[in-house]
Chains A and B, each alone.
Chain A
Amino acid sequence: MLTRADLAKYPFLNEASDYIKELGISIDDIASPDFSPVLERAEKRLEEALSKGRVSNEFGNENAEILSFPVSNLILSLTGEERAQRRFALAEAKRAYELLRQESPEKLDYIARTTFGWKLNKIDAQPGKRFYDFGISLADYLRNSVHLKDPKWKLPNRILDHGLVYATREELARLLEEEVRTKIVDRSSRLSGEIPKPLLPKVERTRGLITKWLGVPSHYELPKVPSPEAMPPCVRHLIDNLAEGKNVQHMGRFTLASFLVNIGAGEEDIVKAFKPASDFSERMTRYQVEHIAGKRGGRTKYTCPMCTTLKTHGVCYKPDDICSTIRNPLSYYKSKARILTGKGPKREPS
């Protein structure tokens, strides 16, 4: 079904890994001069991913194309930089998407089944104006669609027929992009250990690239001093409501407390925010805030609920422009703080 040219396009496929295994290459071969095209291409992949968030295609040397992918991944894993790994995974996944969307339904079907274990049917249905090639099993659809923000991916806006979600070729390719991204992230997080000698300079160079393009990690952290101006509309609304003595439901309270805990507000300040509530109990509030902060009970520090959850529970309030770019109130806070202070690197292109 797949040719070597396909493996060059999609080096994350199981068949590509098998192909490399068959070549019987070891880590020491990397140092050999025969291998230099592979190393060059691997570094280019990384540089492009880090600088532009894109990886271009180079199909001239198919073997180099296939082999360079795991090498890039290995180098990146050895840097131990998770945000760079995520960025690389996204860039590679986007590259794959651009190619996948041009493939025949048969090839898409094959890749979805074999590498990602999907259950799907070729349906050729046209219930209305659009033509759908595929019915994707509900679980496979949901696992990937929950990451996508456009309302067209929401399940109530899909055609769902006996456990199959109808999808066009283009949509299937987009869902596979998510699958590719997840697979690359999983794969790189599994690799680690000592850095093989031949790769040492590459790893060092890549660390430099990461700092150059993504900045020093601490710039990405939340501002040290909680900045009220950077809070999202939902959180401000919660605070205002409490301040006016209006009632705030459980979900709203949890959102506020977990948000404040995560942006590093002090316990006293958090308790203070709840003080105007008509049913305020200092003892209870303190207990719950400590619980959310992970100082009690399960010792898990709770993170702030996702925007989708807040929408379901009616906590989302007057979303603004920044809201449309984020999925969690904490990301809003990061973005806005960055804009307000004018510090830190620019937003990652997404």
Chain B
Amino acid sequence: MNQAEQVIRQKFQQYYLDPKRQLDPPLNPSEREYGFLLFSGKFMVRHRSFKDPLSLLTAVRDLVPSHVYFSTAYYREPTAPMEEKGWTGADLVFDIDADHLNTPCKPDHDSWKCKACGTTGNGGAPKLCPKCKNDRLEEQTWLCDRCLQEAKEETAKLLEMLYTDLGIDNEATRLFFSGHRGYHVHVYSKQTSQLGEEERREIADYLLAQGLDPQLHELEETSVGGTKLAEGPLIGQPGWRGRIVAGIYDILGSEMDQIGLTSTQVHALKSWDREDLLRKPFWNSAKGVGISTWKTLVTKAVEKKSAKIDTVVTTDIHRLIRMSGTLNGHTGLLAMKVPEERLDEFDPFTEPLAFQGQMKVKVKESPGFRLGEERFGPYHDETVQLPSTAAMLLLCKHRAEPIA
């Protein structure tokens, strides 16, 4: 454990030892497996189970983990080795994380470094190092208002689809802030708990509109008296059909540059009355705007309306996922439940703050950021006295060192 980790662990310990402290354990707590990532040597303690919230809290106080997880799966014997646990079902879970979003602010606050050749760059890490084609890239990310705002918007789209398309009862869902760069949605229902990996993949594909074929949603070209006419779905139709039309309507009302259309096509589309889309399933027959242009627009519409979930999380039926009411070791912020009706007003930079008091740290490099009402930084090689939450964020993100 290095010095920073020791300081972080100490603060975490203080937090968990507070006599008023309560965790927010999942439903059916005794049927789950728990996992704790420890500060010492990044070691994962797994296959634990707890009969009640108190024994769980005792373990957390005892181990002081940097991250606390539980299984989305239910087991007959949660402590048995993986293949003997006896899987009986799993919550349907969704993870939306700024890591998977293409926010324009990333070059301002994220950077990466290739572990093999030392090449560095700004923004989200590419899949491969552009120089040596290696995939061992180290990323330094930051959490900013903009990224979290986008994550929130993706989450809102996700919830909307879960309710209106998948018919999931909002009593059966819970929404959490992850304590870092995103949100988690858990669905607890008998219907969905039995779904296997392949079925969950279909659901993930649905939310991302992966493999959506416009033709199967009745986008086609017909010929009426020698005139070609594009026909498509109609607004108000259920599922992706209405959503495709709404997406195209939005696109037609905004800038259409940079979506791969020619200026003639853009011009033709702009001169067309997009309100037509809301009236009839016959899309326009403007010059130069044929079926292939509409297909391009559908692709864009679908990109706009899909919810950018992490497919790996949703399809894994043995996943460990962060527990609400615990500290996120990447930030020192609390992972916490967010009532769905409050998603819009939820401020991830105010509500999950966990520490009191002040701390002195030596900051190497940090973008500017906000916590609560206060703005901090940017910092560059300086020693500063900060509120503990801000100092902990910098320590956890490896942007600062503690001062003894």
| Interface-located stretch among B3-11, B51-59, B62-70, B234-242 | B234-242
A160 in complex: contacting residue of B135, B165, B204, B218, CB < 8 Å = B165
| Interface-located stretch among B32-40, B190-198, B332-340, B341-349 | B190-198
Whether the pair B213, A128 counts as a contact (CB closer than 8 A) is no
Whether the pair B216, A151 counts as a contact (CB closer than 8 A) is yes
Whether the pair B216, A246 counts as a contact (CB closer than 8 A) is no
Q: Does B160 reach chain A (CB closer than 8 Å)?
A: no
Q: Complex: how many Å from CA A160 to CA B311?
A: 19
Q: Complex: how many Å from CA A278 to CA B114?
A: 13
What 0/1 readout, one digit per residue, does chain A (238-270) give for beta carbons within 8 Å of chain B?
Answer: 000000011101000000000000000000000
B154-190, CB < 8 A from A: 164-168
CB neighbours (8 Å) of B206 from chain A are: 155-156, 160
A278 in complex: contacting residue of B82, B132, B217, B240, CB < 8 Å = B132
Q: Complex: how many Å from CA A128 to CA B241?
A: 9
B69-88, CB < 8 A from A: 81-83
Q: Does A73 reach chain B (CB closer than 8 Å)?
A: no
CB neighbours (8 Å) of A164 from chain B are: 167
Query: Assuming the A-B contacts A139-B194, A151-B211, A160-B239, are A145 and B201 also in contact, with contact meaning beta carbons closer than 8 angstroms in the complex?
Result: no
Whether the pair B212, A156 counts as a contact (CB closer than 8 A) is yes
B209 in complex: contacting residue of A129, A137, A156, A298, CB < 8 Å = A156
Q: Does B145 reach chain A (CB closer than 8 Å)?
A: no
Q: Which residue of B lies closest to A144 (CB)?
A: B199
Q: Does B44 reach chain A (CB closer than 8 Å)?
A: no
Whether the pair B199, A146 counts as a contact (CB closer than 8 A) is yes
CB neighbours (8 Å) of A308 from chain B are: 198, 201
CB neighbours (8 Å) of B133 from chain A are: 245-247, 278
CB neighbours (8 Å) of A278 from chain B are: 116, 132-134
Query: Assuming the A-B contacts A128-B281, A162-B167, are A138 and B191 also in contact, with contact meaning beta carbons closer than 8 angstroms in the complex?
Result: yes
Q: Complex: how many Å from CA A139 to CA B195?
A: 7
Whether the pair A279, B192 counts as a contact (CB closer than 8 A) is no
Q: Complex: how many Å from CA A154 to CA B135?
A: 32
Q: Does B128 reach chain A (CB closer than 8 Å)?
A: yes
What 0/1 readout, one digit per residue, does chain A (191-224) give for beta carbons within 8 Å of chain B?
Answer: 0000000000000000000000000000000000
Q: Which residue of A lies closest to B231 (CB)?
A: A129
CB neighbours (8 Å) of A142 from chain B are: 195, 198-199, 202-203
Query: Assuming the A-B contacts A155-B205, A157-B216, A160-B165, are A247 and B233 also in contact, with contact meaning beta carbons closer than 8 angstroms in the complex?
Result: no
Q: How far is the CB of B350 from chain A (nearest CB, A)?
A: 35
Whether the pair A298, B81 counts as a contact (CB closer than 8 A) is yes
Q: How far is the CB of B316 from chain A (nearest CB, A)?
A: 12
Q: Which residue of A lies closest to B128 (CB)?
A: A247
CB neighbours (8 Å) of B128 from chain A are: 247
A154-201, CB < 8 A from B: 154-164, 166
Q: Does A36 reach chain B (CB closer than 8 Å)?
A: no
CB neighbours (8 Å) of B218 from chain A are: 128-130
Whether the pair A163, B203 counts as a contact (CB closer than 8 A) is no
Q: Does A127 reach chain B (CB closer than 8 Å)?
A: yes
Q: Does A57 reach chain B (CB closer than 8 Å)?
A: no
Query: Assuming the A-B contacts A159-B237, A160-B239, A247-B134, are A312 and B216 also in contact, with contact meaning beta carbons closer than 8 angstroms in the complex?
Result: no
Q: Which residue of B lies closest to A143 (CB)?
A: B199
Whether the pair B201, A309 counts as a contact (CB closer than 8 A) is yes
CB neighbours (8 Å) of A279 from chain B are: 116, 134-136
CB neighbours (8 Å) of A145 from chain B are: 202
CB neighbours (8 Å) of B204 from chain A are: 312
CB neighbours (8 Å) of A162 from chain B are: 164-165, 167, 238
What 0/1 readout, one digit per residue, does chain A (107-142) give for beta carbons within 8 Å of chain B?
Answer: 000000000000000000001111000000111001
Whether the pair B213, A151 counts as a contact (CB closer than 8 A) is yes
Q: Does B210 reach chain A (CB closer than 8 Å)?
A: yes
Size bracket, chain A contacts: 35 or more
Q: Which residue of B lies closest to A249 (CB)?
A: B135
Q: Does A300 reach chain B (CB closer than 8 Å)?
A: yes
Q: Does B127 reach chain A (CB closer than 8 Å)?
A: yes
Q: Complex: how many Å from CA A312 to CA B197?
A: 12
Q: Does A318 reach chain B (CB closer than 8 Å)?
A: no
Q: Which residue of B lies closest to A119 (CB)?
A: B191
Whether the pair B135, A247 counts as a contact (CB closer than 8 A) is yes
Whether the pair B192, A139 counts as a contact (CB closer than 8 A) is yes
B127 in complex: contacting residue of A127, A158, A249, CB < 8 Å = A249
Whether the pair A158, B205 counts as a contact (CB closer than 8 A) is no
Query: Assuming the A-B contacts A128-B234, A163-B168, are A156 and B191 also in contact, with contact meaning beta carbons closer than 8 angstroms in the complex?
Result: no
Whether the pair B216, A155 counts as a contact (CB closer than 8 A) is no
Q: Complex: how many Å from CA A130 to CA B220?
A: 14
B205 in complex: contacting residue of A245, A249, A312, CB < 8 Å = A312
CB neighbours (8 Å) of A137 from chain B are: 191
Q: Does A306 reach chain B (CB closer than 8 Å)?
A: yes
CB neighbours (8 Å) of B209 from chain A are: 156
CB neighbours (8 Å) of A127 from chain B are: 233-234, 237-238, 241
B: residues with CB less than 8 A from A are 81-83, 116, 127-128, 132-136, 164-168, 191-192, 194-196, 198-199, 201-206, 208-213, 216-218, 233-234, 237-241, 281, 311, 315
A: residues with CB less than 8 A from B are 127-130, 137-139, 142-143, 145-146, 151-152, 154-164, 166, 245-247, 249, 278-279, 298-300, 306, 308-309, 311-312
Closest A-B pairs by Cβ, 3 of them: A163-B167, A161-B238, A162-B167
